[in-house]
Structures are given as structure tokens and as C-alpha cells.
Chains A and B, each alone.
Chain A
């Protein structure tokens, strides 16, 4: 009788013990995203060790490149727009002709190449492909101060060039009327398949692959701790990087914070959020930007996501003509710089482009796609990330615990309220509604973005938040 009781007691203890141990183990185990190793070069991976040298790079052009471009611009075939269609059917070809005329007669690519080369650029081979990046150190550092490394990642259809206006505000804030409490050295890589970074030759190069490559880059440059900043694909790559290496990323700053893991609470908040904002954690500005939801959410997304749909399914088809027609390429890219800066620009015959950007900047960005022939590989990134649908990837369900700062620009195509963002970004240190600006924040509103980055870093540094994760 006592032995039976003894056995039963033992069993109970065993079960309890296993349960306790299980909980202890699972509690300690933090959900992280794994570093994604890969090899993206042509053919078979060589047996020899990868060459880890970093060599300087300069953008170059040739007469042949220019005359080929001009010939294509001269022979461009346009289609008359429908009467009164403005930018509602896409880029208006009457305005496009003006841009092409400027491109032929006033735009000076040689001069722009010099502009591009004003910041030091480098290349290094990582996971089998050449990675291009800009690395700008502060021109002057006060006694005893050190520069904080900041990785800034662009998106589509942008490039490292988008950061050229904001870089000086971060490396030399004092000269631009900003507080120099924090000074940065900025690293802007080109996503593999974009600009001067080699395109992957193998399938399956997604945001986690890019994050892993950039992680290796930062380590190779000798940075053990750094900040990251991103919008568009840069948002996702930097998020993944924070998930892969939370102990190396001191802070994550985003000008886009999409939430792809939509659940029941999101749907509920869409239905009722307009009437019970407080219940769902919506602020007045959130409500103003998000509702009426059908119009500002669903229809807007449907109207503006055709490009993502075709790029996520047939990138080689849609990119083909764009790699062969600079005018077609310009039309395709400029449409985004118009609509994603301000949706109301669709009502304008000239798409409002020159209100916020100058043609030199816009064409320089387009030229980067043209001279590197990267439009097709840039589009493949959509397929590699979206082919299984939105919200299906593992990393979309993993939270981000790194201190996060979000700059929410009013003209971003879709607004993500803090209430939604904080489900994923569990350590939001700052969330600010910006007074103006759209998707291409760094190019359109560099001062606003720089100020937000500085205040965010200020908060993180003051309380040494990266230690408290």
C-alpha cells in the first residue's frame, strides 16, 4: 500500500518536474530568426574560402553608354493619353515627353556621376556576390567622441542615392543646424539585385537573405553594435536584421512599419475603430489617416498594388521591356515617385513630381537602374518575398524586441497605427506623426527624418536601452 502511494507520488513529481523544466526552458528560449546562409554566385560554390577584401568603387560612364541612351530617347514611341486622364491611368505621356526632353537636353549624367562619387563607395564579396555600399564617416569629430555606425537600407524603386541628402545631416549635424549630441558614420548598401550590387544568380534570395548579407557586411566592417534605418524593403530587411542579431542592433528606426500578420483583432479594429478608437488604442491622427477604411485602406491598396502583384509573379516578363526602353523604365519608376509622395498627385497632369523633387535627382535614381541593368533583378525580390502570399513567412510571426523608433509620414500609402505596430515591435521607444511627407522620406523630407532619427537615438543612448532587452 505504501509502495503504491510512493509510486504515485513519484509519478506526480516526475510530471510536475517535467512541466516545470519545460516552462523554464521555453521561457529562456527567445524566438529569434536564424541567420540565413547562402551562396548566390554563378554555378557551383567554389571550395576555396571566400575573399573578404573590401575594395574601393567608383561609378563610371562611357561615351558609348551615353550615346546609346540618347539614341533610345530620340526614338522613343509614345501613346497619347486619354483626354483628362491626368495620372489616373498611370504616368501621363504628355508630361513624360517633357521629362525625356529634359533628360536629353539638360540632364548631365557625367556631372551626376561625379555627384554620386562624392561619397566613398566600396564593394566586397559576401555569400558569393559583390555587395556595393557607400560608407561616409563624419568630416570632423569633437575630442573624445566616437561616431555611431548607422546602416541605412533603401527600397524599390529607390537606391542608395535616396540617402544623399540626409547623409550630411547625420554625419555632420552641427553644420546643418541640428544637435550634434550624436554623430553617425553612415553605411548605405545596395540590396543585391539593385544598383551596383551584383544580382543573385540563384532562386530564393529574400529579405532574410539580404539581412544576413548586410549583417555579415557590418561585421566585416568591424562594427559589433550599430543602428539600422529603413523604409520600403529597407523596413523589412532592417526588421529581419534586428530579429537575426538583436544583440548587435542597438536600435531600429523605420519610416514604414507595415503589419503583415493580420489577425482577428485587426479586423475588429477596422470595423469598430472609427467609433471606439480608444478601445483599440487609436489616436485621433490614426483615425484621420485610416478611415473610411474601404476608401483609404482596401480600395487604395487594390488601386496601387498592381505593380507588386505582377512583380511578385512574373518579374522577368514585366522587367524585360523596362530594361530595354529607358523611357518605359522612367515612366514606371516616376509613377511611384508621384503617387507614393502624395496620392492627390494623380489628379495632376504632371503628377506633381517637380513639387517635391527635382528632375536631376529623379533621373539620377532612374539612371542607376538603367546603367546597371538591374530592373529585372530588383523586381525578382518581390517574388522571392511574396510568392507564398502576405503573412505566410516565419519571420512575420516573430516579434522584434530591439528598441524601435517609427516615423509615421502622412502620405504613406497605408497608415499603420502604433496600436498595430506594437504587436510586432514590442519595444517601441518613439512613434511620431510627421507633419508632412510620403513614402520616399529620406529624399523628400531629409531634415524631418534626420531629426526623428536623432531624437530616437537620443532616447536609446540616454537610457542605454539596448542593454535592457
Chain B
């Protein structure tokens, strides 16, 4: 009471002298904080890295030249492959196993027979070389990429640069069918050519013709940084990104790292690593009152029964992920030495991840969606570059931490985002869940058909969705 009376006893002006500035500071502080937190978008730190052999050279600037590159092969390489195919040792499948135990070796024999006697690697190399390839050194390693410009630019139209990133067990080759639909949409019956792209498809370091990192710790954030440097080196300040599988996480990281450079982010797979109480509640309620937790009917159809689709089926399909995230050098060793083993391992994914019902088929349904030539060309990229082990290490480098603790799990994505949700994708992410990370979803489309390898399997559908998304962004 004495304190109060003492305060009251202050002269009016003295009171003001104390209270007003204090109040102003308080309100002002709160205002500043609020304003800053609205405009301050958290980003992932760019950082830096060195992935070459040995110590990073102290002197000298990195060679920034961009060198044209052509894929080559030799008689020796083809002979060696043929010998290994001829001497392959198979174990007969169990009766009635179809693809339930993995790749059926009876069907594998047929694939290998085609590979040995009909597949023409020299011809496929020419196919691969039809787009311009380049290499450039970034952070100590050679980065390979293809860069395809439209041969004809409609008058007055801007060409949008588009970086498309592949995943595992894919490669830059997955984009070969979709590229012409994006560089020359009009010629392929897609829209009036409102939007035209020049497409850059790099190989993730450790995949295909990009050099593998020699140091530990090469994760999607390092990849994101390197790809930003690549686009910068090519002279682009702002660009669009597209990705699925690892490409999805890499391009997402790119948007989290340097949002000012990313005009838009298009994904055909959404990784949500941060689960939480909200998600659990959403899952539990979603089965009964989907509208309450923001799930659509299509979301429900694709997500439930939850335990069956998201736990049981996911467990059944993630053995590869578990072993690659823990013992990549062991898992990849035999595959780098046996082309047949490599084909079985990779093509199993092209079967199951395209359509889960293919598990019941003796031939894994592969040739119903793809040609053996294109499937084997992708396998050959892993074979001739000996990159299977380094491609698997990417899993360990990215999944060793608790998923919720990774830097990118806590940072939102504020760039315009387009999501193409394919029905046969391994796991479905409803828009309501994607919103937790992707704060600016411009388009969200339920695709009518297609699985994990969207660009490879349904290039036209994917191209249409990308164009639809970019048109919306450009009009804004």
C-alpha cells in the first residue's frame, strides 16, 4: 500500500515521464515484433561444402566453366555386360509367388534375354545424347546436367527456366518424354503455348553422370545449395522447380533456402517429415468426419484404411529404405557387380511403385506401362556409371537424424506451390496436411491415374499440371 501511495504521490508529469515511455516501448516493441515476424520468413541456412577428395584446396578459385558432355560407350563395356548377363545365376521362384517375394526370377530371365539380344545400348546412347549435356564443377565435384531450350519461342513470350530433379532409382532420363511437352507445348497439343520452358535436369551428385561426393554428410540441403549455384552459374536469377521422390525434398529445400529465387515449386510427391499430435488426431477423426479435419472424399479414399495403407503397406515397401539408410555400401556392393541383380532391384520399384496391384502379376506389370528399352536405359545409367552404391548412401545421409529434428522440417515453404497427387503414389498427402509446411499452395490436383514415376509414366498429365500451375502463378 505504501508503494501505491508513493506512486500516486508522484507528480502527474513525473508519472507520465515514466509511464508513457514505458507504454510506448511496450506497444512499440510488440508492434515491431509483430511486423517483423510477419515479414520475416525463416529460411534454411545456405552454408557451404566441399565434396572432393582430400582437403579443400586453400588457394585458387574453383573452375566455373561449363563443359559440353556426351555420353559414350565402348565395345569393351558392352562385351563385359553381355558376359555378365550370359553367366547370370538365378534362383527359381516359389510356386505362385508372382511379385510378392520381390522380383520374380522367371520373368527376370525374359528381361535379361531381351537385354542381351535385343536391347541396343549404342542406340540408346544416341537417344540419351539427343539433348545437350554439360558438366561443371561445384563444391569440388562434377555436376552433370542436360539443358534443353525451346527451338522456337512464340513472339513476345517469356521462356520460364525450369529445374527438374529426379529421385531414386531414377535419373535425368525419366524426364526425356516430358521435356518436349514443356519446351514445345503447342506442338504437342498442350495449350496455346502460353507458357514455354527451358528445362534443366541435373543428376544428383552420386547418381548417373554427376560425380559422387567423397566426404560424409552429403544431404538434400547440400544438393539444394549446389543446384542453386548451378542455376546461378547458368545465369538464372529466378526459376521454377519440379520434383518427385528425392527431387521433391531437394526442390523443397531449395525453396526453403532461397525463396526469392524460386518463382514456383511443383511437386508430384510431398514429404511431410514432421508428424505430431495434430496429425494423429486428424488421422483418427478423418475416417469418420473428414470434413472436420479438412479431408476431401478423394483424400479419404486414398488414405484409408489407414493402418493397411499407411502402416502395413508402407512397412512392406520400405525394406530397401531401411537397409540403404543404414548399410548402403553392403546393399549396393553386389548390385554394382551383377547387372542382373541391379536390374531386379531397380525394376521391382518400377513395378510396385507404379501400381500396387502389380504385385499379383507374374510379370510385375512392367511392360503394361513402360517399354523394356526405356526401363533398361535407366538401369544402364546406374550400371555404366557404377553409381548404385553412392546413390544409396544418399539415404543414410538424409535419414540418420530424427526426421522431426532436421532443419527443413521446421521451416515453412512460402513460395507458390503446386501439388499433383497421383493415385498410385506410395503414400497420399492430403492438402490439409501439406498446408502445415506448404503455406502457399496455388494448385492441388488429384491426378486421374499414375504412380510414383509420374514424368516417366504419365508425362502428358504431369506436363499439363505443371503448365496449369505456372499459368496461375504468372497471372498473379
Contacts and interface: CB of A to CB of B under 8 A. Distances in A.
Interface of A: 42-43, 68, 72, 75-85, 89-93, 96, 199-203, 302-307, 309-325, 327-329, 331-332, 335, 373-377, 380, 383
Given A203-B95, A316-B103, A383-B101, A327 B337 contact: yes
Interface string B71-112: 000000000100010011111111111000111110010000
Contact of A77 (B97, B102, B103, B336): B336
Contacts of B101: 314-317, 380, 383
Given A90-B328, A316-B101, A323-B89, A84 B333 contact: no
9 contacts: A43-B95, A90-B333, A303-B326, A310-B331, A312-B319, A313-B102, A317-B345, A325-B337, A374-B91
Contacts of A307: 323, 327
A431 B386 CA distance: 49
Contacts of B278: none
Nearest to A84: B216
B140 interface: no
Interface in B293-329: 315-320, 322-329
A313 B317 contact: yes
Nearest to B327: A90
B322 A305 contact: yes
Given A307-B327, A316-B91, 15 more contacts: A89-B330, A302-B326, A306-B323, A310-B320, A313-B319, A314-B319, A316-B344, A317-B103, A320-B102, A321-B334, A321-B335, A322-B341, A327-B337, A374-B91, A376-B105
Interface of B: 53-54, 80, 84, 87-97, 101-105, 108, 213-216, 315-320, 322-338, 340-342, 344-345, 348, 386, 388-390, 393, 396
Contact of B88 (A84, A312, A324): A324
A79 B88 CA distance: 21
A327 B331 CA distance: 12
A92 B323 contact: no
A85 B348 CA distance: 29
Contacts of B214: 80, 82-83
A316 B105 contact: yes
Contact of B89 (A78, A79, A324): A324
B396 A318 contact: no
Contacts of A318: 102, 319, 323, 331, 345
B327 A335 contact: yes
A383 B388 CA distance: 25
A83 B89 CA distance: 34
Contacts of B87: 68, 72, 324
Contacts of B388: 79
Contacts of A313: 102, 315-317, 319
Contact of A91 (B215, B333, B336, B338): B333
A-B pairs, 10 with minimum CB distance? A328-B334, A321-B341, A90-B330, A317-B102, A310-B319, A306-B323, A314-B102, A316-B102, A90-B329, A90-B327
A234 to B, nearest CB: 23
Task: From A76, A91, A303, A318, name the one whose CB has the most chain B CB atoms within 10 angstroms.
Answer: A318
Nearest to A339: B327
Nearest to A320: B344
A265 to B, nearest CB: 25
Contact of B330 (A80, A91, A325, A376): A91
Given A82-B216, A93-B333, A325-B338, A317 B96 contact: no
Contact of B337 (A77, A84, A85, A91): A77
Contacts of B94: 200-203, 380
B333 A311 contact: no
A76 B337 CA distance: 6
A95 to B, nearest CB: 11
Contacts of A85: 216, 329
B334 A376 contact: no
Contacts of A311: 319
B91 A319 contact: yes
Nearest to A43: B95
A380 to B, nearest CB: 6
Nearest to B318: A309
Given A201-B94, A203-B95, A331 B334 contact: yes
A365 B400 CA distance: 32
Given A312-B319, A315-B102, A323-B90, A78 B336 contact: yes
A357 to B, nearest CB: 18
Contacts of A96: 333
Contacts of A312: 319
A72 B87 CA distance: 10
Contacts of A323: 89-91, 341
Nearest to A73: B337
Max chain B CB contacts within 10 Å: which of A317, A376, A380? A317
Contacts of A335: 327, 330
Contacts of B84: 75, 324
Nearest to B346: A317
* Max chain A Cβ within 10 angstroms of own Cβ: one of B105, B317, B329, B390: B329
A313 B97 CA distance: 12
Contacts of A77: 336-337, 386
B329 A306 contact: no
A79 B382 CA distance: 13
B465 to A, nearest CB: 31
Contacts of B342: 321
B214 to A, nearest CB: 6
A79 B336 contact: yes
Given A306-B322, A311-B319, A332-B333, A321 B340 contact: yes
A328 B327 contact: no
B153 to A, nearest CB: 43
Contacts of B331: 90, 306, 310, 318, 332
Contacts of A383: 101
B136 to A, nearest CB: 22
Contacts of A314: 101-103, 319-320, 348
Contact of A321 (B54, B317, B337, B393): B337
B319 to A, nearest CB: 3
Given A325-B337, A328-B334, A316 B326 contact: no
B333 to A, nearest CB: 4
Nearest to B348: A317
Contacts of B105: 316, 320, 376
Contacts of A89: 327-330, 393, 396
A322 B105 CA distance: 13
Given A83-B214, A202-B95, A320 B330 contact: no
Contacts of A79: 329, 332-333, 336, 386, 388-390
A253 to B, nearest CB: 31
Nearest to B323: A306
Contacts of B322: 305-306, 309-310
Contacts of B336: 77-79, 328
B337 A373 contact: no
A311 B316 CA distance: 10
Contacts of A319: 91, 102
A316 B106 CA distance: 11
A389 to B, nearest CB: 8
B440 to A, nearest CB: 35
**Most B CB within 10 A of own CB, among A90, A199, A302:** A90
A76 B386 CA distance: 12
A77 B338 CA distance: 9
B329 A316 contact: no
A314 B102 CA distance: 4
A320 B327 contact: no
Given A79-B332, A90-B328, A324 B340 contact: yes
A127 to B, nearest CB: 15
Nearest to A378: B91
Contact of B91 (A72, A327, A373): A373
B89 to A, nearest CB: 5
Contacts of B53: 83
